[in-house]
Amino acid sequence: MKICALLSGGMDSTVMVAKLVAENHEVRTLGINYGQRHSKELGIAEAQAAMLGVPFTVVDFSNLGQLLPGNSLTSNIDVPEGHYAEDNMKATVVPNRNMILLAVAIGHAIAHECTAVAYAAHGGDHAVYPDCRPEFADAMAGVAAVCDYQKIEMLRPFMETDKAGIAKLGDSLGVNFARTWSCYKGGDHHCGRCGTCVERREAFYLAGVADPTIYGIDSPTVEDMVRNNWQLND
């Protein structure tokens, strides 16, 4: 199958591309600069695509942040810390981000005669992101089926998997996790404190997979985090 896959450089999409390649699909990957505060993850996505031997294209949509103000990923609001379940994590919602990314990926797929778009939404995605819900994914599959002369299939291979399952699968596929990027803050190292860092650490821990990530010096130890039920206490 000829597939256009969204590749952010995070662990979920990297493992997904590794899985699709292992299944012998013809994969091309797409990274989108949507005005994230840092574009570090796009460089990492490019490196992962090279390691996996698939083409990688970046689309520059960097002024999207000005268009969609009021969230911490594309504007100057502070990135909240702590576990995703906390209410303040709503500040990380970029309005309609997933529909925009998927619409561009579908266009890229059509232009390159792919019959499917793959993305790494997973079963552990949180209700704080409305466009991570299964009903959104189903509706996108409906619109992808009628947006062109030929149907574009929407593949979301991790809908029944949580992030720990993704860590386990990536480990078995030999994914280089040290060269994936999750942190919202985009420093030299993962901060170890923002929602996506906490989730990353929890995933490796629950999967029983060694976490090769270097976290910032002011981040708690993983033992502290387990003891505190993945909440920050300072």
Binding site for a second copy (CB under 8 A): 57, 59-61, 63-64, 67-70, 94-100, 102-104, 106-108, 110-111, 130-131, 133, 135-136, 139-140, 142-143, 145-149
Minimum CB–partner distance for residue 123 and a second copy (Å): 17
If you count them, how many residues does the chain have? 234
Q: What are phi and psi of 81, to 5 degrees?
A: -105, 165
* CB closer to a second copy, 57 vs 176: 57
* CB closer to a second copy, 12 vs 131: 131
Minimum CB–partner distance for residue 79 and a second copy (Å): 18
Minimum CB–partner distance for residue 96 and a second copy (Å): 3
Euclidean distance between CA atoms 214 and 77, whole angstroms: 25
* CB closer to a second copy, 145 vs 210: 145
Minimum CB–partner distance for residue 143 and a second copy (Å): 4
Q: List CB contacts of 67: < 8 A, sequence separation 6 or more.
A: none
List C-alpha distances in Å: 92 to 65, 130, 154, 210.
12, 12, 25, 28
- Spell out the alpha helix ranges (H) of 117-160: 134-144
* CB closer to a second copy, 96 vs 231: 96
Euclidean distance between CA atoms 185 and 177, whole angstroms: 18
Minimum CB–partner distance for residue 11 and a second copy (Å): 25
* CB closer to a second copy, 4 vs 169: 4
Q: What are phi and psi of 118, to 5 degrees?
A: -115, 140
